[in-house]
Chain A
């Protein structure tokens, strides 16, 4: 299977503070990578660098075999991204917003209706199409954020806490959607919810203080741990241990 994301010795510092410290990994089509880690671990910063919103201090990122630093626009065409908090233009209606995204993503007119229909159906937005984004509930906003990310059927999906603010049923729906798309894309999601990793991810990467501590499948993560422990226990062991070592 083809490698879609290659991250090589990625480092990002903000002044003296090192947010991401020498992270390398690669991701193939069909893989779903879960970024785990405490708040401020560097998950969002890493995602922002892959999507080209921030430039790395050191290291390279290749998406679909192109260097992000050299071909930012070509790469942005291949990526669907839900930024943290799924920011949206509040004064637009859902439909106009999706049309704008489709327009900028250069979806040809002949495919426009299908693309929008598809994104709307997958996220269940039929009832709110003509509503202003700022009047929507948190759950709907999040789903609009997801629908704009998949409207152009990208090879790479980067989702920063995609299920944050959703109720259990909606969470279930979004996870189902991610699983459905998983075979044709490379997906990175960041999350605090460990059961989510178990449910959708083929790989789990734990990041703490900018460093990658572990990169395994969720099953392997559990295997090394004492019998009967959950992913939560493993996570706590790893990240608490880490911060104590630092002190």
Chain B
């Protein structure tokens, strides 16, 4: 456990030792503000809630999270530091978890820094703060899902650009799998049960359920198992490179 935290600490310090952290946080805050006020129509809706803020999170994450996850392993491979890391007394799972946790905590920090939004809506009206809390939780879980997928893909290449682009593509599929763009392709020739399964993989529908203020254990299980699954593949991918 301590080993995992040593790695996490090193990674987080690494984010803040370079401009990466600051650039990311600033862009994240500006973008989420733009989306909420202009595209989400925060004022026009005339409702004291943060739906116009959270509704854009899947799309915001789709492009910003791969920017964090792409370097997790690809950079280690490119710089050769992976040889240093994997010859220390650290198991692959510890390294994968440590790095993932660092990226997740970093995302959580960015998310917490959107608190002025919460203050604003509480100043303007009387929102349901329980719903807002559930939405934040949902957003964090969803970010974890994107990150885990990104971390896994990053371990397959030493090229960060490839990791970035492929992660966006895969995450896009997960994001929209409940939408007509995917479902229309399958409907008509696949049984309804399969169609429902595909739809249930959607980040958006699982996330939207949580933003309604209903903390459904199924949505939480969905994101957690997705994270575990992706990180398991991540470990397998790193271990398999030993054999080649």
Q: Which residues of A contact B (CB under 8 A)?
A: 14, 48, 51-55, 72-74, 76-77, 79, 81, 83-85, 87-92, 96, 100-101, 103-106, 132, 148
Contact = CB atoms under 8 A, between A and B. Distances in A.
Interface stretch (B80-88, B149-157, B174-182, B212-220): B80-88
9 contacts: A54-B242, A73-B89, A83-B84, A84-B83, A85-B80, A92-B13, A92-B17, A106-B89, A148-B84
Interface of B: 2-3, 6-7, 10, 13-14, 17-18, 79-81, 83-84, 86-91, 242-244
B10 A92 contact: yes
Given A55-B243, A91-B14, A79 B84 contact: no
A14 B244 contact: yes
| Max chain B C-beta neighbours (<10 A), residue from A14, A83, A87, A104 | A104
A104 B3 contact: yes
A217 B7 CA distance: 42
A83 B87 contact: yes
Q: Main SS of chain B's interface residues? A: helix
A92 B244 CA distance: 31
Nearest to B244: A14
Given A14-B244, A54-B242, A104-B6, A77 B81 contact: no
B83 A48 contact: yes
Given A83-B87, A96-B13, A104 B18 contact: no
A49 B88 CA distance: 14
B83 A87 contact: yes
A53 B87 contact: yes
A53 to B, nearest CB: 5
Contacts of A14: 244
| In the A-B complex, the 9 residue pairs with the closest CB atoms | A87-B80, A83-B83, A76-B89, A91-B17, A51-B87, A103-B6, A77-B89, A87-B81, A55-B242
A87 B14 contact: no
Given A73-B89, A77-B89, A104-B7, A53 B83 contact: yes
A139 B91 CA distance: 31
Contacts of B80: 83-85, 87
| Max chain B C-beta neighbours (<10 A), residue from A51, A89, A132 | A89
B77 to A, nearest CB: 10
Contact of B88 (A89, A105, A132): A105
Nearest to B243: A55
A104 B81 contact: no
Contacts of A90: 79
Given A89-B81, A90-B79, A73 B91 contact: yes
A177 B81 CA distance: 24
B87 A101 contact: no
Contact of B90 (A54, A74, A91, A104): A104
A216 to B, nearest CB: 29
Given A55-B242, A104-B3, A91 B18 contact: yes
| Max chain A C-beta neighbours (<10 A), residue from B7, B10, B87, B243 | B87
A92 B87 contact: no
A100 B2 CA distance: 12
A47 B17 CA distance: 32
Contact of A92 (B2, B14, B86): B14
B81 A101 contact: no
Given A92-B17, A104-B3, A81 B87 contact: yes
Contact of B87 (A74, A76, A85): A76
